[in-house]
Amino acid sequence: MADQVRALILAGLLAALAGMVDAIGYLRLSHLFVSYMSGNSTQFAIALGKGDFSQARAIILLIALFVLGAAGGQLLAHLTGRRHLTWVLIAAASLLAAAALFSAAPEPMVLAMGALNASMHRAGRVGVSLTYVTGTLVKLGQGLGDYVASRAVGWDWLQQAAPWVGLVAGAAVAGAAYLRIGAAAVWIPVVMAGLLALWSAALPQTD
């Protein structure tokens, strides 16, 4: 039970990290995302439909960088085995630090968010997504439906809410910080990623 709670807390904190970075990227890029590629894909399609090919090129670059980051994160996870969570977080922290050094440059932020998805896939019995929560909300709604239909007992289905709560909380904190201190707000997720890497080094493999 303690391991499950710890894993859910970690998943929530990782999602909060993603929420922080995405909020900063969204404000920095004038309503484009550094982790929510469904939104960027819709924006890409709209730009194509409007014939705004300059905007479309900028968006498809973000999508390509995210895929590259996800591939790099997955490769790093394979190479580092049981310690993959720590190493992926170190890589994400390094990329975010590079972004911070260049006034919240979006490219390393996108790479970091793609890579972060390789850090954790399950929190105990619960499958988690870190940089996007649509699937999490679907599972939460399905769990609620099963509970109402008496096809599920207990409140385990509520555990699906942990990443969503984390992402929203992280985005709120970073959004407020960005409005006050601008691009320097990206140092907040840098510090958080570093602290999570240190904490994860003391934990058994969670995935």
The full DSSP string for 9-67 is HHHHHHHHHHHHHHHHHHHHTTS--SS-HHHHHHHHHHHHHHT-HHHHHHHHHHHHHHH
Gyration radius from the chain CA atoms:
17
Q: Does residue 127 register a pLDDT over 70?
A: no
Q: Is the pLDDT of residue 205 over 70?
A: no
Whether the per-residue pLDDT at 149 is higher than 80: the answer is yes
Give domain status of residue 207, yes or no.
Answer: no
How many folded domains does the chain comprise? 1
pLDDT score for 189 = 96
**Residue 109 neighbours by CB distance under 10 Å:** 30
Which pLDDT belongs to residue 67? 97
pLDDT value at residue 166 = 93
Does residue 207 carry a pLDDT above 80? no
Tokens of 9: 């807390």
Quote the pLDDT of residue 44.
96
Q: What's the N-to-C CA distance of the chain in angstroms?
A: 16
Q: Tell whether the model's pLDDT for residue 126 goes beyond 70.
A: no
d(CA 156, CA 126): 9
DSSP letter for 154, please: S
Supply the CATH number for residue 49's domain: 1.20.1250
DSSP bridge partners of 127: 122
pLDDT of residue 5: 78
Q: Does 4 have pLDDT greater than 80?
A: no
Q: pLDDT for 43-88, tens place per residue?
A: 999 999 999 999 999 999 999 999 999 999 999 999 998 889 999 9
How would residue 130 be classed by pLDDT, with cut points 50, 70 and 90? confident
**206 in any annotated domain:** no
For residue 22, give Cα distances in angstroms to 26, 33, 55, 134, 180. 6, 6, 19, 15, 17
3-state secondary structure of 122: strand
How far is 197 from 192, CA to CA, in rounded Å? 9
Which residues constitute the domain of residue 51? 2-201
pLDDT (0 to 100) of residue 202? 84
23 domain residue, yes or no: yes
* From 57-66, 77-86, 117-126, 130-139, the region with the lowest mean pLDDT: 117-126
Q: pLDDT-derived band of residue 194, with 50, 70 and 90 as boundaries?
A: very high
Residue 184 pLDDT greater than 70, yes or no: yes
